[in-house]
Amino acid sequence: MTNTLTSPRLITGTSALAVAAGLTALGLSPAAAHVTANATSTAAGGYTQITFSVPTESDTASTNKLELTLPEDTPFASVRTKPVDGWTAEITEAELPEPVQVGEGAITKAASTITWTADEENHAIDPGEFQTFTISVGPLPEEEGKQILLPVSQTYTDGRTVAWDQPATEGQEEPERPAPSVTITEAAADAHGHGTTEPTTAAAENTATTTEGGNTLGWAGLIAGLLGLAAGVTALLRTRHRG
């Protein structure tokens, strides 16, 4: 009977190749396995769902905590989290330095951070794995082309913390720890999915036409009444004169 011995180094090398292959299948290289953000919509003034993809880059520790910092200059009036099995999400609110106009009103307090924590060690993101965390926010800023930075702090089971908070500039080399971000695009015709509140030009013209027509009919009725009254008075005077 022949026993086959496998070198621990060979096992480690094979695992590394498997992880690299998995990242490549996801469209990522091992060096580019950063925390990223993808939004379902970036239309100005609308609402969106943003999903953060969080890989564990460490070979020896797992990710057990994630803290997202939300923008203060363009705060979101509405912030919600999607449940993640084995993780607890906590939204922290803070007073704004000054009131900020958001949508149709001004707000003085908004969500400042969202913290996800693994409930148990076996729910942490192990080496070679990744997890996604989704939030629903809005309304988005009205300024087309504005980049919203969403810095993330990633904590490992060995106590190490990695900050993904470096702004990336278009046309320049990507920083080592780029901050996830979304860029605002042109407003959609229906930013909230409920239709616009302002009437269309055609509808406004029809309304104006209807209002003008109603006034014309009112004046016509008044004139007809006055003519009828005058005719009645004339007939009465003629009758008295004959008598």
Q: What does the pLDDT look like over 105-117, one tens digit per residue?
A: 899 999 999 999 9
Note the pLDDT of residue 14.
44
Q: Identify the band that residue 69 occupies on the pLDDT scale cut at 50, 70 and 90.
A: very high
Structural domain count of the chain: 1
- Nearest of 94, 71, 225, 31 to residue 151 by alpha carbon: 71
**CATH number for position 68:** 2.60.40.2230
Look at residue 220 and tell me if it is in a domain: no
Q: Is residue 193 part of a domain?
A: no
Residue 178 belongs to some domain of the structure: no
pLDDT of residue 26: 40
Residue 78 belongs to some domain of the structure? yes
In this predicted structure, the answer to whether residue 80 has a pLDDT above a threshold of 50 is: yes
Does residue 27 fall inside a structural domain?
no
Domain annotation covers residue 64? yes
Tell me the average pLDDT of the chain. Answer: 77
What are the two backbone dihedrals, phi and then psi, of residue 21, each rounded to the nearest 5 degrees? -65, -40
**Sorting pLDDT into bands at 50, 70 and 90, what band is 167?**
very high
Question: What are the residues whose beta carbons fall under 8 Å from the beta carbon of 220, sequence distance 6 or more?
Answer: none
For the cut 60, the answer to whether the pLDDT of residue 128 exceeds it is yes
Sign of CA dihedral 67, 38, 112, 82: negative
Dist. CA 16–CA 162, nearest whole Å: 21
**Is 202 within a domain?**
no
Given a cut of 70, whether residue 72 has pLDDT beyond it is: yes
**Using CB atoms within 10 A of its CB, is residue 235 exposed (0-12), middle (13-18) or buried (19+)?**
exposed
| Structural domain containing residue 111 | 34-172
Q: Is 226 within the bounds of a domain? A: no
Per-residue pLDDT tens for 30-43?
445 799 999 999 99
pLDDT band of residue 169 (cuts 50, 70, 90) is confident
Residue 50, pLDDT above cutoff 50: yes
pLDDT of residue 206: 32
- Other CB atoms within a 10 A radius of the CB of residue 115 amount to 15
- pLDDT tier, 161 (very low <50, low <70, confident <90, very high otherwise): very high
Average pLDDT estimate for 147-170: 95
For 170-199, how does the pLDDT look when each residue is reduced to its tens digit (9 = 90+)?
888 999 999 999 999 999 876 444 333 333
